[in-house]
Amino acid sequence: MFRMLFLIAVLSLIGVVGVRAENLPYTPVLTPNGSTMPWVWDKDGAKVFHISVGKCKHEISKGMIINAWCYNGQTPGPTIEVVEGDLLRIYVKNELEEGTAVHWHGVFLPNGMDGVSGLTQKSIEPGQTFKYEFRMKQHGTFMYHSHGDEMVQMGLGTMGFLISHAKNEIKADRDFAIFLNEWFVEPGTKTPNPNIMTDFNIFTFNSRAFPGTAPLVVKTGDRVRIRIGNVGQESHPIHLHGYAFKTVATDGGDIPPSAQVPDTTVVVFPGQTRTVEFVADAPGDWAFHCHRRHHPMNAMGHDTANVLGVNQDSVKDVVRKLVPGYMPMGENGMDEMNYMGMKGPENTLPMMGGQGQFGPTGMGGMFTVLMVRDNLKDYDHPGDYPHPKGTVADVVDESK
Ligand SMILES: [Cu+2]
- Alpha carbon distance 315, 317 (integer Å): 6
The predicted pLDDT at position 263 comes to: 98
Average pLDDT, stretch 234-250? 98
Quickly state the pLDDT bin for 1 (edges 50, 70, 90): very low
pTM, 2 dp: 0.87
- Cα(252) to ligand 1 centroid in Å equals 22
Measure the CA–CA gap between 290 and 302, rounded to whole angstroms: 18
pLDDT band at 119 (very low <50, low <70, confident <90, very high): very high
Mean pLDDT across the stretch 360-365?
Answer: 90
Q: HSE on the CB side for 279, CA within 13 Å?
A: 2
Backbone angles phi, psi at 118, to 5 degrees: 85, -45
Q: How far is residue 366's CA from residue 232's CA, in Å, rounded to a whole number?
A: 13
* Interval 54-96: pLDDT, tens: 999 999 999 899 999 999 999 999 999 999 999 999 999 999 9
Q: How far is CA 159 from CA 35, 61, 144, 155, 193, in A?
A: 13, 19, 6, 9, 17
CA–CA gap between residue 294 and residue 1 (Å, rounded): 57
Ligand 1 geometric centre to CA of 279 (Å): 25
Task: Give the distance (Å) from ligand 1 centre to CA of residue 385.
Answer: 27
User: What CA–CA distances, in Å, run from 2 to 7, 17, 130?
Assistant: 9, 17, 35
pLDDT (tens digit per residue) in 281-299: 999 999 999 999 889 988 7
- Between the CA of 236 and the centroid of ligand 1 the distance, in Å, is 4
Is the pLDDT at 12 greater than 50? The verdict is: no
Helix (H, G, I), strand (E, B) or coil at 236: strand
Residue ranges of domains in the chain, CATH in brackets? 17-290 (2.60.40.420)
Structure confidence at residue 174 (pLDDT): 98
Would you give the end-to-end CA distance of the chain in angstroms?
A: 77
DSSP letters of 154-192?
Answer: HHTT-EEEEEEE-TT----SEEEEEEEEEE---TT--S-
Amino acid 325: pLDDT: 60
- Residue 298 CA to ligand 1 center (angstroms) comes to 12
* 42-56 confidence digits (pLDDT tens): 999 999 999 999 999
Neighbours of 242 (CB within 10 A): 17
Of 47, 46, 66, the residue nearest 56 (C-alpha): 66
Tell me what percent of the residues of the chain surpass a pLDDT of 90: 73
> What is the pLDDT, as a whole number, of residue 346?
80
- pLDDT class for 4, splitting at 50, 70, 90? very low
Q: How far is the CA of 235 from the centre of ligand 1 (A)?
A: 6
